[in-house]
């Protein structure tokens, strides 16, 4: 066995011994939400720093990813990153609701889009969707060359199928049948007379006329 293979074997063994482990969430501590988006998919990781063996250790709680939809492929880089934020907050709502957390992103424009004064209808819907997190969420910019833990998940995202836990089904729109009925004037005359006779309606009408 060559020296190169021995070195590779030892590195692989070391990676296996020090592989990321999932933490149980502690809702008394703040969270860190790492997000990343690209032309292939969206990725997010929820982390938390906990005391393990008397040392503060940051570890992952969960990972999620999905491929982008055809309609999302036309988004620019900043919009794609904001989409990733909206999607991640929706998927991880049961972790983040009522907690304090940082959002770590390599796209500095996310903060600007979040505080845009005159957003278009598309961006306004996204702003409204995450409105409840504004008081507890802090956007933290991290340069792309140091923001690597989410690159893999966005570039090798899980397929957008029901087998993916982060799958978002397509919305279905149903149109119900409409029945139009012509009501004669006799009905309206009876209703008007009933208002005059009814004691409560008479009191309300008297108060409104003042």
Task: Write out the chain's pLDDT in tens, 210 residues.
Answer: 688 888 888 888 777 666 667 889 999 999 999 999 988 889 999 999 999 889 998 989 998 989 888 888 888 888 899 999 999 999 999 999 999 999 999 888 888 888 888 888 888 888 888 889 988 999 998 865 554 554 544 454 556 666 665 555 655 544 455 555 566 677 778 877 887 788 787 788 777 776
C-alpha to C-alpha distance for 166 and 44, rounded to whole angstroms: 11
Domain assignment present for residue 25? The answer is yes
Could you give the number of structural domains in the chain? Answer: 1
pLDDT on residue 185: 75
* Helix H or strand E segment including 51: strand 41-52
pLDDT on residue 28: 92
Domain assignment present for residue 188? The answer is no
Domain assignment present for residue 164? The answer is no
Q: Three-state SS for 156? A: coil
Domain assignment present for residue 12? The answer is no
Residues 5, 7, 9: CA angle, nearest 5 degrees: 70
Domain assignment present for residue 36? The answer is yes
Domain assignment present for residue 117? The answer is yes
Domain assignment present for residue 44? The answer is yes
pLDDT on residue 160: 60
The residues near 59 (Cβ < 8 Å, ≥ 6 apart) are 20, 21, 22, 23, 47, 48, 50, 52
pLDDT on residue 147: 47
pLDDT on residue 39: 84
CATH of the domain at 145: 3.30.420.10
Q: Give Cα separations from 137 to 5, 96, 140, 187 (angstroms).
A: 46, 9, 10, 57
pLDDT on residue 114: 83
Structure tokens at 70: 């055809």
Structure tokens at 9: 């074997």
pLDDT on residue 117: 82
pLDDT on residue 34: 94
Show the domain range for 62.
19-155
Domain assignment present for residue 179? The answer is no
């Amino acid at each position: 066995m060559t020296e190169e293979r021995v070195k590779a074997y030892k590195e692989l063994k070391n990676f296996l011994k020090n592989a990321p482990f999932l933490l149980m969430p502690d809702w008394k501590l703040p969270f860190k939400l790492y997000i990343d988006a690209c032309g292939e998919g969206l990725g997010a990781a929820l982390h938390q720093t906990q005391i393990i063996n008397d040392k503060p250790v940051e570890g992952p709680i969960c990972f999620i990813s999905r491929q982008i939809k055809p309609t999302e492929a036309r988004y620019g880089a900043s919009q794609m990153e904001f989409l990733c934020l909206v999607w991640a907050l929706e998927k991880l709502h049961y972790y983040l609701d009522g907690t304090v957390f940082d959002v770590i992103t390599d796209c500095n424009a996310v903060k600007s889009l979040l505080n845009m004064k005159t957003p278009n209808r598309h961006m306004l819907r996204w702003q409204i969707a995450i409105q409840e997190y504004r008081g507890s969420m802090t956007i933290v910019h991290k340069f792309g060359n140091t923001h690597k833990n989410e690159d893999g998940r966005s570039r090798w995202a899980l397929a957008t199928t029901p087998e993916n836990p982060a799958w978002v089904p397509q919305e279905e729109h149903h149109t119900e049948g409409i029945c139009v009925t012509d009501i004669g004037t006799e009905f309206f005359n009876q209703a008007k007379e009933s208002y005059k006779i009814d004691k409560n309606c008479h009191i309300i009408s008297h108060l409104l006329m003042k």
